[in-house]
């Protein structure tokens, strides 16, 4: 009897784990294909993968750089924002998003049904983006700055004066780091500080694990500088998806996927 019960538990657990692995597979192994269909084929030239192979083991983050073909870069450069706004994938995402919002607005969905609808929506919209905008990214764009969203309510609740807020949340490498605020790569990922390249090679960080470091500490400084220059300069474009932002720079013939859940 005990053996039978144990067997049943193992089977049930296996089914649950298999189901979970299928769910999270969408947001892990699938994130590399989160590219608008019209911008393919692209070639991956650099990537840092901070996603988990299985289960909700914390925050999933990734940074990937693609090269754009000369023809595609020239087309985006000449047609600009209208080209991106009128891509079939953009139009489709807008329709799917509106339909999903209407479904939720009814308020009559059972929890299980709502989870299934959410799962189907996320699966259908991977690699689709809407509300394309031209750079530079505005300094007050809160959707970009995860830190601002993450700590704002806490600061208000604690009554922390504005001038003290960022100082209170400095990282553990005081004196060597730069605060991640405003529009930057590290503020997008929710890192509090950005450690200079010269300090990253020191013995202080040598034996740190990925969990102990900021995600952006794993990204080469040349790509951090390139991306931050792109999002602060005109004539580039960006758009948010369900789990990140896609940045296109026709001048540099590159595209960037900044993924976070």
What is the pLDDT at residue 128?
82
Pairing between strand 193-194 and 237-240?
unpaired
Cα 18–chain centre separation: 25
Min mean pLDDT across 21-25, 50-54, 132-136 is at: 21-25
pLDDT at 209: 57
| Closest to 79 (Cα-Cα) out of 38, 43, 113 | 38
User: Could you tell me the two tokens for 250?
Assistant: 């026709």
Write down the pLDDT at residue 19: 41
The SS3 assignment for 68 reads coil
User: What is the Cα 64 distance to its own chain's centre?
Assistant: 10
Question: Above pLDDT 70, what percent of the chain?
Answer: 64
Please say whether the beta carbons of 260 and 164 come within 8 A.
Answer: no
pLDDT for res 51: 67
Q: Is residue 15 part of a domain?
A: no
The answer as to whether 31 is a domain residue is: no
Does the residue 27 lie in any domain? no
If pLDDT is split at 50, 70 and 90, which confidence band does 178 have? low
Give the pTM: 0.74
Of residues 199 and 33, which shows the higher confidence score?
33
Separation in Å, CA 68 to CA 29, 211, 247 = 22, 32, 12
Q: What is the pLDDT of residue 75?
A: 96
Does residue 115 carry a pLDDT above 50?
A: yes
Phi, psi angles (nearest 5°) of residue 82: -55, -35
pLDDT at 162: 58
In this model, does residue 173 exceed pLDDT 60?
no
- What is the domain count for the chain? 1
Query: What is the Cα Rg of the chain in Å?
Result: 21
Phi, psi of 180 (to 5 degrees): -90, 95
Examine residue 188 and state whether it is found in any structural domain, yes or no. Answer: yes
Most confidently predicted of 95-99, 108-112, 209-213: 95-99
pLDDT of residue 104: 84
Asked if 26 and 126 count as a contact pair (C-beta separation under 8 A), the reply is: yes
Indicate whether 7 belongs to any domain: no
Residue 26 resides in a domain? no
Residue 57 banded pLDDT, cuts 50, 70, 90: very low
Q: Is residue 9 part of a domain?
A: no
Among the listed residues 103, 127, 147, the one whose alpha carbon sits nearest the alpha carbon of residue 241:
127
Range of the domain at 197: 36-52+60-260
Is 191 domain-assigned? yes
């Amino acid at each position: 009897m005990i053996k039978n019960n144990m067997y049943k538990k193992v089977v049930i657990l296996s089914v649950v784990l298999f189901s979970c692995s299928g769910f999270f597979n969408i947001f892990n192994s699938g994130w590399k294909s989160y590219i608008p269909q019209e911008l393919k084929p692209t070639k991956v030239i650099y990537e840092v993968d901070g996603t988990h192979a299985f289960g909700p083991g914390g925050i999933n983050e990734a940074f990937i750089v693609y090269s754009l073909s000369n023809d595609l870069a020239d087309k985006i450069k000449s047609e600009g924002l209208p080209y991106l706004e009128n891509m079939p994938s953009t139009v489709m995402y807008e329709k799917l998003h509106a339909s999903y919002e209407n479904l939720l607005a009814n308020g009559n969905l059972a929890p299980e049904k709502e989870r299934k609808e959410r799962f189907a929506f996320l699966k259908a919209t991977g690699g689709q983006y809407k509300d394309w905008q031209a750079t530079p990214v505005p300094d007050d764009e809160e959707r970009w700055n995860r830190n601002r969203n993450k700590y704002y309510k806490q600061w208000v609740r604690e009554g922390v004066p504005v001038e003290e807020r960022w100082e209170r949340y400095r990282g553990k490498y005081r004196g060597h780091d730069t605060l991640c605020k405003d529009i930057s790569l590290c503020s997008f990922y929710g890192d509090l500080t950005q450690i200079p390249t010269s300090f990253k090679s020191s013995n202080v960080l040598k034996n740190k694990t990925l969990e102990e470091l900021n995600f952006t500490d794993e990204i080469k400084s040349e790509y951090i500088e390139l991306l931050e220059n792109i999002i602060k300069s005109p004539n580039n474009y960006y758009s948010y998806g369900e789990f990140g932002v896609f940045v296109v720079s026709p001048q540099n013939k590159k595209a960037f996927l900044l993924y976070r859940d």
